[in-house]
Amino acid sequence: MKKIITILLTLLISVMALSQDKNSIIKLTDGNKYRVKIILLDLDRITYETENDIMRSTKIEEVEFVETENDGFVFYQYDKEEHDIYNETLKSISENEPMELIKQGGKVFIPISAKDYKTVLGRFFIKDKISESNLWQVVDTEYEAEFILEYYFEEKGRDKNYFVLKTRDGAEFYRSKNILTSSSYIPMNEAKKSVEKLYKKVDLFKPRRKASRQIDK
Protein backbone atom coordinates (compact mmCIF):
# COMPACT_ATOMS: atom_id res chain seq x y z
CA MET A 1 0.00 0.00 0.00
CA LYS A 2 2.81 2.38 0.93
CA LYS A 3 4.53 1.66 -2.40
CA ILE A 4 1.29 2.40 -4.32
CA ILE A 5 0.87 5.73 -2.51
CA THR A 6 4.48 6.64 -3.31
CA ILE A 7 3.98 5.82 -7.00
CA LEU A 8 0.75 7.83 -7.16
CA LEU A 9 2.39 10.78 -5.43
CA THR A 10 5.32 10.68 -7.86
CA LEU A 11 2.93 10.64 -10.83
CA LEU A 12 0.97 13.55 -9.39
CA ILE A 13 4.12 15.61 -8.89
CA SER A 14 5.27 14.84 -12.44
CA VAL A 15 1.94 15.92 -13.92
CA MET A 16 1.95 19.14 -11.90
CA ALA A 17 5.51 19.92 -12.92
CA LEU A 18 4.69 19.40 -16.59
CA SER A 19 1.56 21.56 -16.36
CA GLN A 20 3.68 24.41 -15.01
CA ASP A 21 6.41 23.98 -17.62
CA LYS A 22 6.05 27.47 -19.08
CA ASN A 23 9.48 28.76 -18.30
CA SER A 24 10.40 30.80 -21.34
CA ILE A 25 9.62 34.42 -22.12
CA ILE A 26 8.54 35.95 -25.41
CA LYS A 27 8.28 39.70 -25.98
CA LEU A 28 6.40 41.04 -28.96
CA THR A 29 6.98 44.27 -30.87
CA ASP A 30 3.68 45.64 -29.53
CA GLY A 31 5.22 45.60 -26.04
CA ASN A 32 3.34 42.58 -24.72
CA LYS A 33 5.39 39.99 -22.89
CA TYR A 34 4.35 36.44 -22.01
CA ARG A 35 5.63 33.53 -19.98
CA VAL A 36 5.29 30.56 -22.31
CA LYS A 37 6.28 27.08 -23.33
CA ILE A 38 8.04 27.20 -26.69
CA ILE A 39 6.64 24.56 -29.03
CA LEU A 40 8.48 25.43 -32.23
CA LEU A 41 11.07 28.01 -33.30
CA ASP A 42 10.70 28.13 -37.08
CA LEU A 43 12.33 30.31 -39.73
CA ASP A 44 9.34 32.62 -40.02
CA ARG A 45 7.11 31.85 -37.01
CA ILE A 46 7.25 30.94 -33.33
CA THR A 47 4.65 28.60 -31.90
CA TYR A 48 4.11 28.68 -28.15
CA GLU A 49 1.65 27.93 -25.36
CA THR A 50 0.73 30.70 -22.90
CA GLU A 51 0.16 30.39 -19.15
CA ASN A 52 -3.56 30.20 -19.91
CA ASP A 53 -2.91 27.11 -22.07
CA ILE A 54 -3.66 29.05 -25.25
CA MET A 55 -1.67 27.95 -28.30
CA ARG A 56 -0.37 30.84 -30.39
CA SER A 57 1.76 31.27 -33.50
CA THR A 58 3.46 34.61 -34.12
CA LYS A 59 5.42 35.87 -37.10
CA ILE A 60 9.13 36.55 -36.50
CA GLU A 61 8.61 40.17 -37.63
CA GLU A 62 6.34 40.67 -34.60
CA VAL A 63 8.80 39.24 -32.04
CA GLU A 64 11.47 41.26 -30.24
CA PHE A 65 13.09 38.31 -28.49
CA VAL A 66 12.66 34.93 -26.88
CA GLU A 67 14.42 34.01 -23.64
CA THR A 68 14.38 30.26 -23.03
CA GLU A 69 15.02 28.41 -19.78
CA ASN A 70 17.86 26.35 -21.27
CA ASP A 71 19.53 28.41 -23.99
CA GLY A 72 19.08 32.04 -23.06
CA PHE A 73 18.17 34.67 -25.65
CA VAL A 74 17.26 34.55 -29.30
CA PHE A 75 16.93 38.12 -30.61
CA TYR A 76 14.70 38.98 -33.55
CA GLN A 77 13.45 42.58 -33.90
CA TYR A 78 15.19 43.74 -30.71
CA ASP A 79 17.79 46.44 -31.42
CA LYS A 80 20.65 45.82 -28.98
CA GLU A 81 22.47 49.05 -29.84
CA GLU A 82 19.37 51.15 -29.37
CA HIS A 83 18.67 49.67 -25.92
CA ASP A 84 22.22 49.46 -24.62
CA ILE A 85 22.85 51.90 -21.73
CA TYR A 86 26.44 50.83 -21.11
CA ASN A 87 28.66 53.90 -21.35
CA GLU A 88 31.80 55.36 -19.77
CA THR A 89 29.94 56.56 -16.68
CA LEU A 90 28.44 53.13 -16.02
CA LYS A 91 31.78 51.49 -16.73
CA SER A 92 33.56 53.76 -14.25
CA ILE A 93 31.00 53.16 -11.49
CA SER A 94 31.08 49.42 -12.13
CA GLU A 95 34.86 49.30 -11.84
CA ASN A 96 35.33 51.67 -8.91
CA GLU A 97 32.11 51.79 -6.87
CA PRO A 98 29.90 48.85 -7.92
CA MET A 99 27.77 48.99 -4.76
CA GLU A 100 26.55 52.38 -6.01
CA LEU A 101 24.72 50.49 -8.74
CA ILE A 102 22.34 48.79 -6.35
CA LYS A 103 20.83 51.78 -4.63
CA GLN A 104 17.07 52.08 -4.86
CA GLY A 105 15.94 52.56 -8.43
CA GLY A 106 18.90 50.78 -10.02
CA LYS A 107 18.23 48.79 -13.19
CA VAL A 108 18.74 45.05 -12.78
CA PHE A 109 18.53 42.18 -15.25
CA ILE A 110 17.71 38.71 -13.90
CA PRO A 111 18.34 35.93 -16.45
CA ILE A 112 16.06 32.90 -16.26
CA SER A 113 18.25 30.48 -18.19
CA ALA A 114 19.97 27.85 -16.01
CA LYS A 115 20.88 24.15 -16.03
CA ASP A 116 18.94 23.35 -12.85
CA TYR A 117 15.12 23.31 -12.98
CA LYS A 118 14.64 24.71 -9.47
CA THR A 119 17.10 27.50 -10.24
CA VAL A 120 14.98 28.44 -13.27
CA LEU A 121 11.82 28.49 -11.14
CA GLY A 122 13.58 30.47 -8.43
CA ARG A 123 14.73 33.08 -10.94
CA PHE A 124 11.13 33.69 -11.95
CA PHE A 125 10.06 34.05 -8.32
CA ILE A 126 12.88 36.39 -7.33
CA LYS A 127 12.19 38.46 -10.44
CA ASP A 128 8.55 38.75 -9.37
CA LYS A 129 9.49 39.69 -5.79
CA ILE A 130 11.79 42.49 -6.90
CA SER A 131 9.34 43.70 -9.56
CA GLU A 132 6.62 44.01 -6.91
CA SER A 133 8.88 46.06 -4.66
CA ASN A 134 10.19 49.57 -5.26
CA LEU A 135 13.78 48.46 -4.71
CA TRP A 136 15.13 48.08 -8.27
CA GLN A 137 13.78 48.32 -11.79
CA VAL A 138 13.74 44.86 -13.39
CA VAL A 139 14.55 45.22 -17.09
CA ASP A 140 14.09 42.81 -19.99
CA THR A 141 17.68 42.27 -21.12
CA GLU A 142 21.24 42.85 -19.94
CA TYR A 143 21.56 45.71 -22.46
CA GLU A 144 19.03 47.74 -20.48
CA ALA A 145 20.65 46.93 -17.12
CA GLU A 146 23.18 48.59 -14.84
CA PHE A 147 23.91 45.30 -13.08
CA ILE A 148 22.90 41.63 -13.21
CA LEU A 149 21.45 39.35 -10.52
CA GLU A 150 21.94 35.59 -10.84
CA TYR A 151 19.97 33.34 -8.49
CA TYR A 152 21.00 29.76 -7.67
CA PHE A 153 19.24 26.81 -6.04
CA GLU A 154 21.97 24.37 -5.07
CA GLU A 155 21.29 20.74 -4.23
CA LYS A 156 24.63 19.72 -2.77
CA GLY A 157 24.73 18.49 0.81
CA ARG A 158 22.10 20.56 2.57
CA ASP A 159 20.08 22.31 -0.11
CA LYS A 160 20.61 26.07 -0.18
CA ASN A 161 19.84 29.08 -2.30
CA TYR A 162 21.69 32.34 -2.83
CA PHE A 163 22.36 35.00 -5.44
CA VAL A 164 25.28 36.94 -6.85
CA LEU A 165 25.43 40.43 -8.32
CA LYS A 166 27.61 41.15 -11.32
CA THR A 167 28.57 44.20 -13.33
CA ARG A 168 27.80 44.40 -17.01
CA ASP A 169 31.33 43.14 -17.65
CA GLY A 170 30.57 40.00 -15.62
CA ALA A 171 32.64 40.89 -12.54
CA GLU A 172 31.07 39.62 -9.33
CA PHE A 173 30.84 42.34 -6.68
CA TYR A 174 28.38 40.83 -4.19
CA ARG A 175 27.42 37.33 -3.06
CA SER A 176 24.61 36.76 -0.60
CA LYS A 177 24.84 34.38 2.31
CA ASN A 178 23.60 30.83 1.71
CA ILE A 179 20.07 30.31 3.02
CA LEU A 180 18.78 26.77 3.55
CA THR A 181 15.93 25.97 1.19
CA SER A 182 12.40 24.97 2.15
CA SER A 183 11.38 21.35 1.60
CA SER A 184 8.48 20.30 -0.60
CA TYR A 185 7.58 17.40 -2.87
CA ILE A 186 6.58 19.92 -5.52
CA PRO A 187 9.51 21.82 -7.14
CA MET A 188 7.36 24.90 -7.79
CA ASN A 189 6.45 25.24 -4.11
CA GLU A 190 9.99 24.46 -2.97
CA ALA A 191 11.47 27.16 -5.19
CA LYS A 192 8.87 29.75 -4.20
CA LYS A 193 9.22 29.19 -0.44
CA SER A 194 13.01 29.15 -0.71
CA VAL A 195 13.07 32.48 -2.54
CA GLU A 196 10.70 34.01 0.02
CA LYS A 197 12.97 32.80 2.82
CA LEU A 198 16.05 34.22 1.07
CA TYR A 199 14.31 37.52 0.38
CA LYS A 200 13.41 37.98 4.04
CA LYS A 201 16.85 37.12 5.41
CA VAL A 202 19.10 39.16 3.12
CA ASP A 203 19.50 42.80 4.19
CA LEU A 204 20.29 43.86 0.64
CA PHE A 205 16.62 43.48 -0.31
CA LYS A 206 15.53 46.08 2.22
CA PRO A 207 14.70 49.49 0.68
CA ARG A 208 17.54 52.00 0.65
CA ARG A 209 18.08 55.53 -0.57
CA LYS A 210 17.82 56.15 -4.27
CA ALA A 211 20.92 56.34 -6.38
CA SER A 212 22.36 59.82 -6.54
CA ARG A 213 24.23 59.20 -9.79
CA GLN A 214 22.69 59.55 -13.23
CA ILE A 215 23.66 57.07 -15.91
CA ASP A 216 22.66 58.45 -19.25
CA LYS A 217 22.86 56.43 -22.42
Query: Is there a single domain that holds both residue 61 and residue 96?
Result: no
Q: Tell me the per-residue pLDDT of 165-192, one tens digit each, with 9 for 90 and over.
A: 999 999 999 999 999 998 888 899 999 9
Instruction: Give me the numbers of helices (H) and strands (E) for the chain, helices first please.
Output: 5, 12
Q: Tell me the per-residue pLDDT of 43-64, one tens digit each, with 9 for 90 and over.
A: 899 999 999 999 999 999 999 9
| Amino acid (one-letter) located at 70 | N
The domain total for the chain is: 2
Q: What's the start-to-end Cα distance of the chain, in Å?
A: 65
pLDDT of residue 3: 43
CATH number at residue 177: 3.30.160
Which residues are CB-neighbours of 159 under 8 A, at least 6 positions away?
153, 180, 181, 183, 194
pLDDT of residue 5: 38
Q: Tell me the per-residue pLDDT of 105-147, one tens digit each, with 9 for 90 and over.
A: 999 999 999 999 999 999 999 999 999 998 999 999 999 999 9
Query: Is there a single domain that holds both residue 190 and residue 91?
Result: yes
Query: Is there a single domain that holds both residue 43 and residue 102?
Result: no
